[in-house]
C-alpha cells in the first residue's frame, strides 16, 4: 500500500513585506525629525526626590512662589514674606453682587485673566526686584518651588517661571537709554512645580 504525501510537495508561501518596508521608509524619518523638534521645547525640571535622608547639618532656606488668582505670594516655607496683588483685579475692583451674579462674574474674570499677558495680570517687576534681594542674601541658592492654584492659565505659569529663572538687570553706571546695557542674571533656575495649598 502506498502512502499519500499531503503537503510535502507544496512550496512554502513567500512573505510579502514590501508594504511594511514602505511604511518604515516614511515613518522612520518622520519620527526622527519630530523627535528633534520636541526636544527644543522641553524645560528641564528637577523634581524633588522621594528618598528621605538624615537631618541636614545647616538650616535649609526655602523659596516658594505661590501663584494665586488674586496675588503672587513669596514664602519661606512657613509664612508669607511678600505678597503682590493681581494688577487686573486691583484696577477692576470688587463689587458686592448676588451669589449667582458673583459666580458668573468670577467665571468671566477667569476667562479675561487667562487671555491677558502675564505682565498685565501679575506685577512681575516687583517679583523680580524681590527675588533679586533674596538672591543677594543667598547667592548659592539655585532652587525654588513654584506652587499654583488649579485655575491659573498655563501662559501665566510660564511667565512666572521665566521671571523666577532669571532677570535682566541694567549695568551700573550705564546710560539708561542704551538698550545694550542690560545683562541677564540667573536667579533660581532649578524649579519644582506643585499645587498651591
d(CA 19, CA 39): 30
24-59 CB burial, b ≥16 within 10 A, e <16: eeeeeeeeeeeeeeeeeeeeeeeeeeeeeeeeeeee
Ranges of the chain with pLDDT below 70: 1-9, 36-59, 89-119
d(CA 165, CA 80): 20
- Residue 33 is classified by DSSP as H
How confident is the model over 27-81, as pLDDT tens digits? 999 888 877 665 555 556 666 565 555 555 556 788 899 998 888 999 987 888 9
Per DSSP, the residues of 153-175 read -HHHHHHHHHHHHEEEEEPTT--
Amino acid at each position: 500500500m502506498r502512502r499519500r504525501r499531503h503537503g510535502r510537495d507544496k512550496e512554502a508561501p513567500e512573505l510579502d513585506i514590501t508594504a511594511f518596508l514602505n511604511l518604515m521608509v516614511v515613518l522612520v524619518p518622520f519620527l526622527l525629525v519630530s523627535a528633534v523638534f520636541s526636544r527644543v521645547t522641553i524645560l528641564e525640571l528637577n523634581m524633588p526626590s522621594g528618598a528621605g535622608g538624615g537631618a541636614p547639618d545647616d538650616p535649609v532656606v526655602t523659596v516658594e512662589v505661590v501663584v494665586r488668582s488674586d496675588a503672587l505670594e513669596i514664602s519661606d516655607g512657613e509664612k508669607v514674606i511678600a505678597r503682590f496683588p493681581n494688577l487686573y483685579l486691583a484696577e477692576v475692583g470688587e463689587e458686592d453682587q448676588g451669589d449667582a451674579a458673583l459666580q458668573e462674574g468670577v467665571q468671566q474674570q477667569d476667562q479675561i485673566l487667562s487671555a491677558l499677558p502675564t505682565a498685565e495680570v501679575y506685577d512681575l517687576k516687583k517679583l523680580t526686584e524681590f527675588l533679586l534681594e533674596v538672591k543677594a542674601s543667598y547667592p548659592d541658592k539655585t532652587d525654588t518651588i513654584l506652587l499654583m492654584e488649579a485655575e491659573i492659565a498655563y501662559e501665566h505659569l510660564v511667565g512666572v517661571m521665566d521671571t523666577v529663572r532669571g532677570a535682566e538687570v541694567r549695568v551700573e553706571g550705564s546710560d539708561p537709554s542704551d538698550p545694550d546695557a542690560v545683562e541677564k542674571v540667573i536667579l533660581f533656575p532649578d524649579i519644582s512645580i506643585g499645587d498651591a495649598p
